[in-house]
Amino acid sequence: MKNNAKIFLKDLGLIDYKEAWEHQTKLHKQLVTNKLSTTPNLIQHFILCEHPAVYTLGRSGSEDHLLLSQNELSQKGYAYYKINRGGDITHHGPGQIVGYPILDLAYFKEDVGWYVRSLEEVIIRTLADYEIKAQRIEKFTGVWIEGQPMRKIAAIGVHMSRWVTLHGFALNINNDISLFDHIIPCGIQDPNKSVTSLATELGKEIALKDVKKRLIHHFSTIFDVKITIPHQKTELND
């Protein structure tokens, strides 16, 4: 039986990071407020999007892991934000699918570790559809591909307030992974670990719409929910 949480899907396409951050923060605050209401309207959200080139630093990160000066960032046209998610520094860019689930974990399981592992599992199953065997590495959040070096293909960083989630995951598909050279990704200084993308692993570009469809399917399965596209009034549950 499906979870009775109401999940609305929003595909924002290519959107400025700050604009998307403000949008998800607004939805997050609404859900927290509604949750505390005597007549709660607990509509939850799953946002998919891409961002122009940007670097973001999480609460536990070090600015030393950004290898560009403010002047260099400006010259190259890259944005940079310190944000309230967990984790260290990462990069977002066009061709990367970013997912922001805004969920009340009271409907699922009030456990941060479970939630992060569930997001990882959604990505692992999505990559398996492309015959990519991905996995977790103990003590390193995210999704990896085994080999020499180990290659990180997806990063995860979240924030919670009253068990309502904010931020989410970034899955490298067709994005320019050379832009990770300007940071120490996730603060991991290990020559046996690097960054990769689905296009790099398969040797060809992949249609983002197909990856999104698979992500939605596996998200629905792992979290045991039906996902509704509001403007189409349809449910994605297969």
> Which residues are marked as active site?
186
Q: What are the respective helix, strand and coil percentages of the chain, to the nearest 5?
A: 35, 35, 35
Q: What is the Cβ-side half-sphere exposure of residue 73, based on CA atoms within 13 angstroms?
A: 15
Please state the separation of Cα 29 from the chain's center in Å: 19
Query: What is 27-52 written as a DSSP string?
Result: HHHHHHHHHTSSS---EEEEEEEE-S
Taken as a whole, the chain contains a residue count of: 238
DSSP label at residue 64: G
DSSP label at residue 177: G
User: Any idea what the Cα angle at residue 45 is, between residues 38 and 137, rounded to 5°?
Assistant: 120
